[in-house]
């Protein structure tokens, strides 16, 4: 097992891509800190990891809130004493024509999908700098490379994640910390079921 005794923090790990990442890393031997805004979902993923034979810790956290993120790191350090890998996966999606987008909806997407990556990376980087080692993996999207109609807020956030990753990688390289970004395409999760449904509604609207 390649990740034996490694401690991995995964955000948005209660379902979908985050859950799949957590389970896959556990199968490689890692102990997983399962973070999600929905604690019930986090606990379910954590139980699946224990069945695999690895340790897990479920934490309720809203990655857009600095206090939640600091508590997430504190609880992780109390239990495991270090963080080897951070996977910034938490994200939300709101699909609407831009003229119908409310300011608070825009802010929420940016807060979770981009600010959350900053807050988690900042908090965990402090630990990794002291360790003189670590890996940060940010989950962006194909929408972060090419914008799509009705996905403006999501695309803006995911473009931002790519730029943030590039800058942070250079900043943390001297500390022996690597920072990388992954840009998946469409994956069959509940979030993309929602996307299909909302796009269908928009595209069926009569023009004019």
pLDDT for 5-63, tens place per residue? 999 999 999 999 999 999 999 999 999 999 999 999 999 999 999 999 999 999 999 99
Instruction: Note the helical H segments in 12-147.
Output: 16-27, 39-52, 66-80, 103-110, 116-131
- 97 phi, psi to nearest 5 deg: -60, 145
- 105 phi, psi to nearest 5 deg: -70, -45
Supply the DSSP symbol for 157: H
Task: Provide the pLDDT for residue 183.
Answer: 83
pLDDT band at 204 (very low <50, low <70, confident <90, very high): very low
Task: Provide the pLDDT for residue 165.
Answer: 98
The tokens of 148 are what? 């799509």
pLDDT band at 144 (very low <50, low <70, confident <90, very high): low
Residue in 16, 20, 11 with CA at minimum distance from that of residue 194 = 16
pTM exceeds cut of 0.85:
yes
**With contact defined as beta carbons under 8 Å apart, do 1 and 29 qualify?**
yes
pLDDT for 77-132, tens place per residue? 999 999 999 999 999 999 889 999 999 999 999 999 999 999 999 999 999 999 99
pLDDT for 162-191, tens place per residue? 999 999 999 999 999 999 999 865 545 454
Task: Provide the pLDDT for residue 143.
Answer: 63
**With contact defined as beta carbons under 8 Å apart, do 42 and 14 qualify?**
yes
Is residue 194 part of the annotated active site? The answer reads no
Task: Please name every residue paired with 59 in a beta bridge, in sequence order, or none if there are none.
Answer: 35
Task: Provide the pLDDT for residue 56.
Answer: 98
Among residues 154, 161, 172, 179, the one annotated as catalytic is 154
Q: Which residues, other chains included, contact 110 with Cβ-Cβ below 8 Å and sequence gap of 6+?
A: 153, 156, 157, 160
Pairing status of strand 85-88 against strand 177-182: unpaired
Alpha-carbon distance 58 to 44, whole Å? 9
- Sketch out the chain's domains with CATH numbers: 7-204 (3.40.50.720)
**Residue 204, exposed/middle/buried by CB under 10 A (0-12, 13-18, 19+)?**
exposed
Backbone CA torsion sign across 202, 113, 11, 39: negative
Task: Provide the pLDDT for residue 141.
Answer: 76
SS3 labels along 81-117: CCCCEEEECCCCCCCCCHHHCCHHHHHHHHHHHHHHH
**With contact defined as beta carbons under 8 Å apart, do 143 and 155 qualify?**
yes
């Amino acid at each position: 097992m390649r990740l034996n005794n490694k401690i991995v923090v995964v955000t948005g790990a209660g379902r979908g891509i985050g859950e799949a990442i957590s389970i896959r890393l556990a199968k490689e031997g890692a102990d997983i800190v399962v973070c999600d805004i929905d604690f019930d979902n986090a606990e379910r993923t954590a139980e699946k990891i224990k069945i695999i034979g690895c340790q897990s810790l479920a934490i309720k956290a809203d990655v857009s809130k600095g206090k939640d993120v600091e508590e997430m790191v504190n609880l992780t350090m109390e239990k495991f004493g270090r963080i080897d890998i951070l996977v910034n996966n938490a994200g939300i999606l709101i699909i609407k024509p831009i003229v119908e987008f409310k300011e608070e909806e825009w802010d929420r997407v940016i807060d979770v999908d981009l600010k959350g990556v900053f807050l988690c990376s900042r908090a965990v980087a402090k630990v990794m700098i002291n360790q003189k080692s670590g890996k940060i993996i940010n989950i962006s999207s194909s929408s972060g490379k090419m914008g799509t109609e009705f996905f403006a807020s999501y695309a803006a956030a995911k473009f931002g994640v790519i730029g943030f990753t590039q800058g942070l990688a250079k900043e943390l390289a001297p500390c022996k910390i690597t920072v990388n970004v992954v840009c998946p395409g469409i994956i069959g999760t509940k979030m993309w079921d929602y996307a299909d449904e909302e796009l269908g509604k928009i595209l069926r609207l009569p023009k004019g």
